[in-house]
Amino acid sequence: MKIFLIGFMGSGKTYWGRQLSQKLSIPFFDLDEQVVSHAEKSIKDIFDQEGEEKFRLLEKDLLHIITESHDSFVMACGGGTPCYFNNIEYMNQAGTTVWVNTDMDILFERLRKEKAERPLIRDLSDDQLSSFITKKFSDRRLYYEQAAIKVGEEDVQIEKLVEEIFHV
């Protein structure tokens, strides 16, 4: 069983991914953490020193490596993962994708406090952050919508989610 949690930055993929992996007793991977440990530098440093394109390539390579070397896992993807290359088709073929669709107001409040670690938003004022979320979310929505399962973060109930995953 291979489960991929997708959704915007700050949507709670890592938190819910850990909960789900514990419930299912299968390993958990955070794709951002895997990229950082493979590159031996922070995401911010990868963006600054090597550019976003290099980050996207590394992200894709690690997505493939983990998916192909494990039979079962829950993976929290980065917010952009499903939107580059053919990653969303790849994940849909390899396993079950779940879109954690969190309200924009909640995203804004969370991201406002956690801007520093995220290269795409760290230099934005609050007003700019708000427009960024609206614009980026509308660009990315068509990728997130391709998930097999969609769940509002406020409705995530692990038992129900597990049931849905088994019935896809």
CB of 43 to ligand S3P, least distance (A): 5
Taking the complex as a whole, how short is the minimal distance between the CB of residue 102 and ligand S3P, in angstroms?
A: 11
Measured between alpha carbons, how far is 54 from 61 in angstroms, rounded to an integer?
Answer: 11
Rounded CA-CA distance 12/71 in Å is 24
Query: From the CB of 30, what's the least distance to ligand S3P, in Å?
Result: 8
With respect to ligand S3P, which residue has the nearer C-beta, 103 or 163? 103
Q: Which span (16-24, 87-95, 112-120, 143-151) binds ligand S3P, by CB under 6 A?
A: 112-120
41: closest CA among 117, 133, 125? 117
Contact in structure between 75 and 31 (CB atoms under 8 Å): yes
Collapsing DSSP to helix, strand or coil, 111 comes out as: helix
Torsion of CA 127, 130, 134, 135, to 10 degrees: 50
Q: Considering the rule CB under 6 A, would residue 12 count as an interface residue with ligand S3P?
A: no
- Which one among 3, 12, 20, 32 touches ligand S3P, defined by CB under 6 A? 32
* Residue written as token pair 């917010």: 79
- Say whether residue 56 binds ligand S3P (CB under 6 A): no
Choose which of 119, 141, 148, 149 interacts with ligand S3P (CB under 6 A). Answer: 119
Binding range to ligand S3P, per CB under 6 A, among 21-29, 62-70, 116-124, 150-158: 116-124
